[in-house]
């Protein structure tokens, strides 16, 4: 990989993303960087900054405590160019766990008046896992995902739990059966690096351990 150095004068409120955009505007218009919201919502500006996967738009340059900042692409996703990675496989893994509300009653689809109220405590079950912005930092940090491309990964697994915990969902049996395999929950070695880098506090490592319990209980129930 070719590395390049640039010198910039930055004020204390700059982020890594704004520094990269200065480079792109005034020093190197060919630099490829992906971003959209600039406020930690869209999940598109993930990269490795000073050796750690981070969102460039949420990383203040001064908070890094160094006059030299190294920036590179995430290594857990295929590289397209410069700082831009290919997320096709990431989104395939995400979709593979049915990350949507599954309902078994076909009739209710045609009833526009049907409502599914939830209590606050029912919402509290899944909300801690519902803040995922699909930035892929957890997958980049995961040692298993980096060595076993078949592993579905911490993002997809945390989202499987998010929907399993939703009182409106009826798809948990299928998800638990899908994930009862080495490339599913049993691939996780509980390194915990996914949770350390998640910018939204989703805690995929906790989600996967909870999911392992549910998968084991479900498998035992099926065998009985």
Give the interface with ligand SF4 as residue ranges (CB under 6 A): 132-138, 155, 158, 198, 200, 202, 204
Given ligand FES, ligand SF4, none, residue 134, with its beta carbon under 5 to 8 Å by kind, binds ligand SF4
Which residue, 18 or 158, is less far from ligand SF4 as judged by CB?
158
**Least distance from C-beta 80 to ligand SF4, angstroms?**
18
Q: Collapsing DSSP states into helix, strand and coil, what is residue 102?
A: coil
By CB under 6 A, the residues from 18 to 37 that bind ligand FES are 35-37
Number of residues that bind ligand FES (CB under 6 A): 12
The residues in 98-127 that bind ligand FES, with binding defined as CB under 6 A, are: none
User: Whose structure tokens read 């697994």?
Assistant: 157
Interface with ligand FES includes 150 (CB under 6 A)?
no
- Report which of 41, 203, 205, 53 is spatially closest to residue 136, judged by C-alpha positions: 53
Cβ atoms within 10 Å, residue 69: 14
The nearest distance, CB 203 to ligand SF4, in angstroms, is 8
- 111: Cβ contacts below 8 Å, ≥ 6 apart: none
By a kind-dependent CB cut-off of 5 to 8 A, residue 77 interacts, out of ligand SF4, ligand FES, none, with none
| Residue 64 CB contacts under 8 Å (≥ 6 apart), including other chains | 49, 50
Helix, strand, coil percentages (3-state) for the chain, rounded to 5, are 45, 10, 50
């Amino acid at each position: 990989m070719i590395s390049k150095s640039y010198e910039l004068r930055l004020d204390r409120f700059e982020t890594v993303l704004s520094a990269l955009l200065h480079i792109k505007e005034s020093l190197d218009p060919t630099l490829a960087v992906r971003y959209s919201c600039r406020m930690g919502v869209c999940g598109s500006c993930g990269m490795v900054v000073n050796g750690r996967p981070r969102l460039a738009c949420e990383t203040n340059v001064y908070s890094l405590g160094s006059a030299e900042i190294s920036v590179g692409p995430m290594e857990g996703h295929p590289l397209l160019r410069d700082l831009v990675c290919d997320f096709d496989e990431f989104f395939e893994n995400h979709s593979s766990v049915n990350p949507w509300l599954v309902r078994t009653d076909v009739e209710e689809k045609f009833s526009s008046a049907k409502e599914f109220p939830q209590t606050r405590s029912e919402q509290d079950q899944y909300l801690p896992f519902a803040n995922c912005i699909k930035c892929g930092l957890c997958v980049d940090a995961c040692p298993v995902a980096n060595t076993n491309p078949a592993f579905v990964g911490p993002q997809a697994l945390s989202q499987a739990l998010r929907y399993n915990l939703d009182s409106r969902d009826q798809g948990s049996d299928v998800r638990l059966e899908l994930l009862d395999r080495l490339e599913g929950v049993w691939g996780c070695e509980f390194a915990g690096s996914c949770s350390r880098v998640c910018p939204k506090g989703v805690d995929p490592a906790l989600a996967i351990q909870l999911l392992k319990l549910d998968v084991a209980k479900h498998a035992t129930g099926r065998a009985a």
